[in-house]
Structure 1
Amino acid sequence: MAINLQKGQTIDLRKNDKGESFDLSKVTIGLGWDVKQKEGSFLGKLFGTNKEEEFDLDVIAFLLDSNGKVANLGKELVFSNGQKVGLHGGDVVFFNSMTFPSGTGTSNTLFPEGTPKYTIQQKINQLLSNGELIVHTGDNLTGEGDGDDEQIIIKLESLPARIEKIVFLVCIYQGIQKNQQFGKVENAFIRACDSNNKEIAKYTLSNSPELENKHSLVFGETYRHNNGWKFRAIGEPLHTDNFVDVLKKYIN
């Protein structure tokens, strides 16, 4: 039975206190959330005009070394349309560098909008078989991690020794500009499932005044401990809506 974590709680991912063991050869970190329903008028409800506000939440993973820093910031790519993308192929896994270690593909080429979920699952399996150790799905998958809004799949036991910790961050895209913040998000959670799709632990973020006017959230982290891995529920809200602002503390 999965452990429901409290803020600040740390657990061993290999085995729970009931002696149940977990296969960490492939771990799925799933994140999910809902946007609070808007208070609408009677006519709005009648005619269906009280539409739920759309939030664009992005999940980012920082891969840290023994000094707690992101050692490899990757490189800048220039696409055919002239768009420049930095941090590609380094130790930051995000919407423009969705795999590790190669950083193959971007959100526009790895899983184009409308790609069938079965095709996405096949592509993920192919990437993992071809040597990628982390794949950011960018979408919900059927079966494994059902109910997650985004997932990061990690071959945890195959990561290079230089990676000591992974920090998981969620940012609301253009949250400040659009006046969208975590005070309007509910049922937010992060969970870990093992290679057999057994849920190891889940941390659900309760509605709290500290989330008001915050546009990013350090949700949790996993780190090496005694030849194994632990997971810590963090739940630290931040004002910025740009993950690069958070990244700065891990590179200085």
Structure 2
Amino acid sequence: MTPGSNLPLTAARVAVTVTAPVRLDVSGLLLTAGGKVRSDDDFVFYNQPAGPGVSHGTTPAGDTITVDTAAVPADIDKVVITASLDAPGATFAGTEPTGTVRDADGGAVLATFTPPQLGAETALVVVEVYRRGGGWKVRAVGQGYADGLAGIATDFGVSVEEPAAPAAPPAPQAPPAPQAPPAPVPQDQWAPPAGAPAPLAPPPQAPAPAGPPATGKVNLDKGRVSLQKNQTVSLVKDGRPLLSTVRMGLGWEPARRGRSIDLDASVIAYGPDRGKVDSCYFGKLRILDAAIQHSGDNLTGDGAGDDEVITVHLGGIPPEVTGLVFTVNSFSGQKFSDVAKAYCRLTDAQTGEELVRFDLTGAEPRTGVLMAKLIRQYSGEWEMTALGSFVDARTVRGMVKPAAAAL
């Protein structure tokens, strides 16, 4: 998802996990149509882990806010999910978090969102789950606050002085002045709350002019970047977006000696509405006027180096394509738990230099995996995010919907 975008929820119970390379405190606030909590009981966090229809939990992946939309009181209009940094004085510069929305019962990923270009912010509204037309939707927000969780809590009407509130920096002699309340916003038209900090990226209706990335953004200036799951790197070098030709190499090895596994690497191109534009795979080796090319099928995974390679001419991607998702599926139906050393890597096609690498570990007994995505930003640069999300699909056609949900 991109800032301001929204999606209908296909599950009644959703779990929103927020992860980052550093420790985060994740909270959920139940807000009425006026943009305020009804009482401090509507503030759900690690020290108050349950509210009406909303709960807080901690998993190895990170803190999670679970929303049971059927149990949310009728006078609650939305649930906002926030993240703040645990370390005193730390900011989000260079440690952008990722919010992952899943079906709380089935575990399927419904959406992911990484706010771009963060700097001095110490707390964020990451996403919000809200009512619309008798159903529920999720919106990517990414609004930052420089005064930590206390600023968010005050903005939404929580009494931060109460003992039940989460730990915050010692209060100064005079209490901080509350921020202006957010103005009502039409649910399908995103806008920043009145008096709140400006959005971190412009809404789709008003793209920002091209320019250098924020200094806190991880880019390619220092050489190769090794990504972990859900981490993002901006394909920017020496202050300029990388618009040359890159190769996405995907590799794997059979986990059991002598057993061949036929995996197929593909890339699916999407438009701004997450509608599929085209897909490149072993049965269609060139798409988008050869801007994307596939090396051909590898039936076994044997041999050293990349098993299948997809070449992407970033400068030749037409403007109607804003996202690319790289997938691998097991055409023969064998599970990824029978696969070893699966990875994807991005290399410079001219020099062969490895730019980004993502080694997939902890495979699941399923037949498809979303390896990585490339998203075109408003400034013209591309960002790569490591996904590592497993699905049940054996062909590229079966990967289209889950890949779209991962954008």
TM over 0.5: yes
Match among 187, 202, 206 for residue 357 of structure 2? 202
On the 8 A contact 2:281/2:396 being kept in 1, the answer is no
Equivalence for 1:224: 376
1:27 corresponds to 2:246: yes
On the 8 A contact 2:373/2:385 being kept in 1, the answer is yes
Distance across 2 between alignment mates of 1:162 and 1:149:
30
Distance across 2 between alignment mates of 1:212 and 1:31:
18
Q: Cα distance, 1:20 vs. partner? A: 8.8
Q: Cα distance, 1:251 vs. partner? A: 8.0
| Structure 2 SS opposite 1:244 | helix
Residues 9-28 of structure 1 correspond to what in structure 2 (within 5 A)?
9-15=231-237, 23-28=242-247
Residues 94-109 of structure 1 correspond to what in structure 2 (within 5 A)?
94-102=281-289
Match among 339, 342, 347 for residue 193 of structure 1? 347
Equivalence for 1:148: 306
On the 8 A contact 1:69/1:250 being kept in 2, the answer is no
Distance across 2 between alignment mates of 1:251 and 1:202:
22
Equivalence for 1:5: 227
Equivalence for 2:276: 70
| Structure 1 SS opposite 2:236 | coil
| Structure 2 SS opposite 1:235 | strand
Distance across 1 between alignment mates of 2:341 and 2:404:
32
Alpha-carbon distance change, 36 to 60 in structure 1, aligned in 2, over 3 angstroms: same
Distance across 2 between alignment mates of 1:217 and 1:249:
10
Equivalence for 1:159: 317
On the 8 A contact 1:23/1:194 being kept in 2, the answer is no
On the 8 A contact 1:22/1:200 being kept in 2, the answer is no
Q: Cα distance, 1:11 vs. partner? A: 0.4
Q: Identity, % of aligned pairs? A: 28
Q: Cα distance, 1:249 vs. partner? A: 5.3
The CA deviation string for residues 56-100 of structure 1, in whole angstroms up to 9 with x for no partner, is 1101111000111113xxxxxxxxxxxxxxxxxxx1111111101
Larger strand percent: 2
Distance across 2 between alignment mates of 1:204 and 1:25:
24
Alpha-carbon distance change, 139 to 246 in structure 1, aligned in 2, over 3 angstroms: closer
Equivalence for 1:245: 398
Q: Cα distance, 1:22 vs. partner? A: 8.0
On the 8 A contact 2:266/2:281 being kept in 1, the answer is yes
Gaps of 5+ in 2: 1-222, 299-303
Q: Cα distance, 1:243 vs. partner? A: 2.6
Q: Cα distance, 1:134 vs. partner? A: 1.2
Distance across 1 between alignment mates of 2:246 and 2:327:
17
What root-mean-square deviation, in Å, do the aligned CA atoms of Structure 1 and Structure 2 show?
2.3
| Structure 2 SS opposite 1:92 | strand
Residues 35-46 of structure 1 correspond to what in structure 2 (within 5 A)?
35-38=254-257
Considering only CA atoms, is the larger Rg found in Structure 1 or Structure 2? 2
Equivalence for 1:41: none
| Structure 1 SS opposite 2:269 | strand
| Structure 2 SS opposite 1:167 | strand
| Structure 2 SS opposite 1:183 | helix
Larger helix percent: 1
On the 8 A contact 1:22/1:194 being kept in 2, the answer is no
On the 8 A contact 1:34/1:187 being kept in 2, the answer is yes
Higher relative contact order by CA 8 Å / sep ≥ 6: 1 or 2? 1
Alpha-carbon distance change, 37 to 249 in structure 1, aligned in 2, over 3 angstroms: closer
Distance across 2 between alignment mates of 1:29 and 1:22:
17
Aligned residue pairs total 176
The CA deviation string for residues 92-120 of structure 1, in whole angstroms up to 9 with x for no partner, is 11111110125xxxxxxxxxxxxxxxxxx
Distance across 2 between alignment mates of 1:21 and 1:238:
35
1:138 corresponds to 2:296: yes
Equivalence for 2:365: 213
Alpha-carbon distance change, 249 to 237 in structure 1, aligned in 2, over 3 angstroms: closer
Distance across 2 between alignment mates of 1:29 and 1:251:
19
